[in-house]
A and B are shown apart, each in its own frame.
Chain A
Amino acid sequence: MVKTDFGPPKYLDMMSDLCKRNYGKWKYHEVLDTGTLVHVAENGEKLYTVRSATPRLIHIDTLRVFCDLADKYCNGFFRFTSRHSIEFLLEDESNIEPLKADLHAMGYSPGGVGNTISNMLHTQGWIHCHTPAIDASGIVKAVMDEVFDYYTEAKLPARLRLSLACCLNMCGAVHCSDVAIVGIHRVPPKVLDEKVAKMCEIPNVVAACPTRAIRPEPAKKSVVINDEKCMYCGNCYTMCPAIPIFDPKNDGAAIFVGGKVSDARHPAMFSKLAVPYIPNEPPKWPTVVKTVRMLIDVYAKDAKQGERYGEWINRIGWERFFKVTGLPFTDKHIDDYIFSVPTFRSTATFKW
């Protein structure tokens, strides 16, 4: 009989004695540099953290090297962050520099602490998912290479969170990121009638469509899609593999800006549309990369110290945002989905 339902390993078994001793008794922390933190406990004990971004997709041999480093410098303890960075937890300050040198040697650079860009959240893309409109890992690699200076140097007005979701399902919190890349399809899916008849449950397919664009076609035991109503979400494809939504000529990325999840100062905000569409340009997506770089540079230059991306835009106004970035404002930027009207301006007070 197989053992089931015993739950994850107990976290206390995965923590060093120092962490356990000071559990819930941390007094304050300091950022030593963009890759290093120190946490000081009430009893004066110190825990040093060296953080490095990872590509999230990691081979076990790399994880074994991480284990070796943790054995060498951290009594065998480390952790990961919710943004897929690795954090080595050191008790001995003199181990920090040797650890960093070893990390550099294996192609990993400490960074992402303080007013920097931390690791870029992303989803599976062409590595592992069936609905993506764009790849994930490749774009992340190309973008992070380009903005690497903002990862290692604290030269932003505040933290900046980048993320990417490869389709509108938006696995991960891209809809609340400072700068977010989202994969979009632009044409309605194709209905393969014969396969639909064999493979799919018609009522479920009809019900899956958020815009009610699908109706049954009983004669063919299939469905028809009203192209006028379809907004290319791909829900029907998830329900029915015989309605593929891919179109390499039209799939691509949209860019959203100004979201955050922290409630510090201004409450959490959704990200808002900046660029409606950029075509897929593998392997290095130069237009996406250039646009993200521009969006970050403009913010870094114009925002006041301590202002997150969305707080900066709130201060200057969206009409100014489009002016200073030079991005075109189009009909796509005006909401016409479910909750659109509250986003319209009902006042004649605005900037030029």
Chain B
Amino acid sequence: MPELRKTPMLDQLLDGPFPSFVKEIKKGAEKNEACNDLLGQLELSYEEKITHWKHGGIVGVTGYGGGVIGRYSDVPEQFPGLTEFHTMRVNQPAGWFYKTDRLRKLLDIWEKRGSGLTNFHGATGDIILLGTHTDELQNVADDLAHEGWDLGGSGSDLRTPSACVGPGRCEWACIDTLDIVDTLTRRYQNELHRPMWPYKFKIKISGCANDGVAAKARADCSIIGTWKDNIQVNRTEVVNYVNGGFDIIGQVVDKCPTKCISYNPVTKSLSIDDNNCVRCHNCINKMPKALRQGKINGATILIGGHAPILQSAFMSWVVVPFMEMKPPYTEISDLLEKIWEWWDENGKMRERTGELIYRLGMRSFLKATGLPAVPQMVLHPRTNPFFFWDKEEVNQ
């Protein structure tokens, strides 16, 4: 074992109240050459203000088209431990729940066959095992498979779907986020593991409008829980909040975006004009004991979110205002499969679903999926008279 790399710049990030990533790498540096060299290369990046990772050489494991990300140092002579430093994406359990005995098995494999460094988790949602050699990739995958851990997605495929904690520990989950993500992940293993599309496709699922996994901002298909009927009001608890000094006017009534809540200070009663409620969730967030969502639950399906440079960033937009989300989730699967077929057929290389819809128009998307046009899809109708008619729609 060569001696520990000197890292005067990185050492300045050891102290301070926030947990230090440098300390984490140093834990590995004492027993692993790659960690030690990572410290050295990172110190060099800090001196030179430039990355030292290279794009080059495709790697993978048998039977999979993704899940492994190749990484090579561009200064391997100086840092031989980083000559090959590939990442593996491991599919996380839904909701990122762990039981220690299962997780310890994974950690032992990574101690034996990799750098010992991880991301819990990658921004994709996967467990990231950071750094191993080409000739260890297959062994890691085999050992993981033996303990019941499968790889996640990368490249032009279905990326590992993820979901908020949902019914596992949250009273606001209008849909069973964990069962949905688990079911879809198992159903689409082929799409996840073998890239075959124009580009990547992401599915993220949040149980309510608080959107805890940022589905609208990050997923091509965002599934957001909601309800159709009325917010349930517990009158006694409303009185308790008010008696406890809660600023019901300032925090709830005035903050309602549609001004559909009224409050009577004499009777200390609150009433909601549910026809005008947009289910933004603020009032429920602020008075969780007094207000609960309705009982007819389902999801709003939004499409197109991503942040590529090509057409600026998009947030997903509504394509199905309300979908019942009951096992086995056939309706969402039917929709996804139609979208993939249309996108696969019409998408250019590296064109995300949202960009394709932008290029060909919602008209074309709706035709391909058979979805009806509804006012919930737009903020307002178009302001120009520049629209197209199909041949079938006009009198011949």
Binding site for B on A (CB under 8 A): 2-11, 13-15, 19, 23-24, 26-30, 39, 47, 49, 53-64, 67, 70-71, 76-82, 84, 86, 89, 107-109, 121, 123, 125-132, 135, 137-138, 140-142, 144-145, 148, 151, 168-176, 204, 207-208, 210, 233, 235, 237-238, 241, 246, 248, 251, 261-268, 270, 280, 282-284, 304-306, 337-339
Contacts and interface: CB of A to CB of B under 8 A. Distances in A.
Contact of B120 (A39, A63, A108, A267): A63
Given A128-B87, A264-B281, A305-B247, A29 B42 contact: no
Interface residues of B, number: 121
A26 B93 contact: no
5 contacts: A8-B92, A77-B100, A241-B55, A263-B280, A268-B217
B217 A176 contact: yes
Contacts of B12: 283-284
Contacts of B268: none
A305 B176 contact: no
B171 A27 contact: yes
B62 A2 contact: yes
Given A6-B150, A57-B24, A283 B10 contact: yes
Contacts of B92: 8
Interface in B155-205: 162, 164-165, 167-171, 173, 176, 178, 182, 185-186, 189-190, 193
B150 A5 contact: yes
A238 B155 CA distance: 13
Nearest to A132: B51
B209 A264 contact: yes
Contact of A264 (B167, B170, B280): B280
A59 B46 contact: no
A57 B288 CA distance: 35
Nearest to A126: B45
B23 interface: yes
A29 B288 contact: yes
A-B pairs with lowest CB-CB distance, top 6: A145-B16, A24-B167, A248-B49, A26-B171, A144-B18, A8-B91
B95 interface: yes
Interface in B79-98: 85, 87, 91-98
Contacts of B215: 261
Interface in B37-89: 38, 42, 45-56, 61-64, 71, 85, 87
Most buried by B among A82, A107, A144, A270: A82
A7 B91 contact: yes
Nearest to A170: B307
Given A24-B167, A138-B13, A305 B216 contact: no
A59 B116 contact: yes
Contacts of A305: 247, 250-251
